[in-house]
Amino acid sequence: MKKIIVIGGGAAGMIAALESAKRGNNVILIEKNNKLGKKLYITGKGRCNLTNACDVDTLLNNTISNPYFLYSSFYTMDSDALMRYFGDMGLPLKVERGNRVFPASDRSSDVISALSRELSKNKVNVRLNTEVVDLLFHEDKFTGVKLTDNTRLDADACIIATGGLSYPVTGSTGDGYKFARKLGHDVSPLYPSLVPIKIKEKWIPNLAGLSLKNVEITLKRDKKIVYKDFGEMLFTHVGVSGPIILSASRYLVGEQINCMLSIDLKPALDEKMLDSRILRDFESYKNRDFSNTLDDLLPKKLIPIIIELSEISGDKKVNNITKEERRKLVKLIKEMPLTVTGTTGYKEAVITCGGVNCDEIDPSTMESKKVKGIFFAGEVIDVDAYTGGFNLQIAFSTGFLAGNSC
């Protein structure tokens, strides 16, 4: 029997501890919060998007940083295997639009409860309100950890599953990066990712709370397209959020200047079709003011902004609107411009981009190539993906592999 210490009681840490214990090891799971899975609890707006019901190729294609590193992890536990894993724990799941997988109850707490029951059943020693401040070594071999009260815990191996820097209120304060650097690992630059985007335009607060479905966004840097996406988005008091915006934010990493975001409010119509549609509406409301003719085309909250940006007087009769003014209106609806000023930072970021250099970790075991007996799992590693359950799949897959390997 080996003694294994797992640092971090999130998705990766819990599954790593569980798998290690199943193999007869004496496992101590250390979590500095007063409960396990604090970040897991708030993911998916409290519903917990566990994974994406897709094949391994799709998992890899949705991984942005270092997908090659995850071959072993994904083929050891793909999304089907993960869904069976939770099914065997007695947790019913459901698949929603975009193949997103949630607990059938829509409660992230049920995911945490299922994992907690298994940890207890497999006699994992869970130590809450406990913080590791240092890793201990003898002749370049891991021997244990030191806690905040100077207590020493001896062990044969350690799995670092401390998460990143995102949502610091959940305890993600970058401890794992500090440990990795002490071990001699390179840590790539860290940035908030999958995060709401801040917008410069002064009218943005007027749209706060407005949700748009079936729109297309285009992100440009120095007038070059760097990202396009179709789906749902949301206006906030400071900018924009929602699934397609969070994915777009990954392309702001390290480069947030000279960026413009445009929204195609009617992607199903090309400019000619949209112009014909507007002409029909104008014909129907030919005696009305311009401000009273857009209700069939746009959300009510958006109409005053579009009128302002179009520079067409709201009280102008539609039968007096010129072809040039109509052309400008069409262009505006197809490319509503937003000036990016940055992101809302780690406090609202779903994940951290960057982390422990993948070239210094054995992808088939998750063990450090620099120090024997040290393993990494989850967000602390330099791997990240789009929204849709892909990042939690990474956490569970790498945690599963590390727990088995150590």
Q: Are 242 and 252 in contact (CB under 8 A)?
A: no
> What is the pLDDT at residue 286?
85
Dist. CA 95–CA 199, nearest whole Å: 33
What is the pLDDT at residue 13?
A: 98
Which tokens is 281 given?
């509406």
- Mean pLDDT in the chain? 95
Write down all domains in the chain, each with its CATH number in brackets: 3-191+353-405 (3.50.50.60), 193-267+338-343 (2.40.30.10), 271-336 (1.10.8.260)
User: The pTM is what?
Assistant: 0.91
- Average pLDDT in the 221-233 region? 94
Q: Which long-range contacts (CB under 8 A, 24 or more apart) does 206-212 make?
A: 206/301, 206/304, 206/305, 207/235, 207/301, 207/302, 207/305, 208/235, 208/236, 208/237, 209/234, 209/235, 209/301, 210/234, 210/235, 210/299, 210/301, 210/302, 211/235, 211/242, 212/242, 212/263, 212/265, 212/299
What gap in Å lies between CA 263 and CA 334, rounded to an integer?
7
Considering only 168-182, 290-304, 379-393, which range has the smallest mean pLDDT? Answer: 168-182
73: tokens are 């992890």
pLDDT of residue 138: 84
Q: What is the pLDDT of residue 29?
A: 98
Instruction: Give the torsion through C-alpha atoms of 82, 84, 85, 87, to 10 deg.
Output: 130
pLDDT band at 177 (very low <50, low <70, confident <90, very high): very high
pLDDT reading at 309 higher than 90: yes
Query: For 80-97, how does the pLDDT look when each residue is reduced to its tens digit (9 = 90+)?
Result: 999 999 999 999 999 999
For 10-26, what is each residue's pLDDT tens digit? 999 999 999 999 999 99
DSSP 113-129: HHHHHHHHHTT-EEE-S
Structure confidence at residue 141 as a pLDDT band (50, 70, 90):
confident
pLDDT for residue 80:
98
Alpha carbons 406 and 230: distance in angstroms, whole number = 42
Please report which confidence band the pLDDT of residue 45 belongs to, taking 50, 70 and 90 as the band edges: confident
Q: How confident is residue 169, by pLDDT bands cut at 50, 70 and 90?
A: confident
Distance in angstroms (rounded) separating the CA atoms of residues 11 and 379: 10
271-284 vs 323-334: helix axis angle to the nearest 10? 120
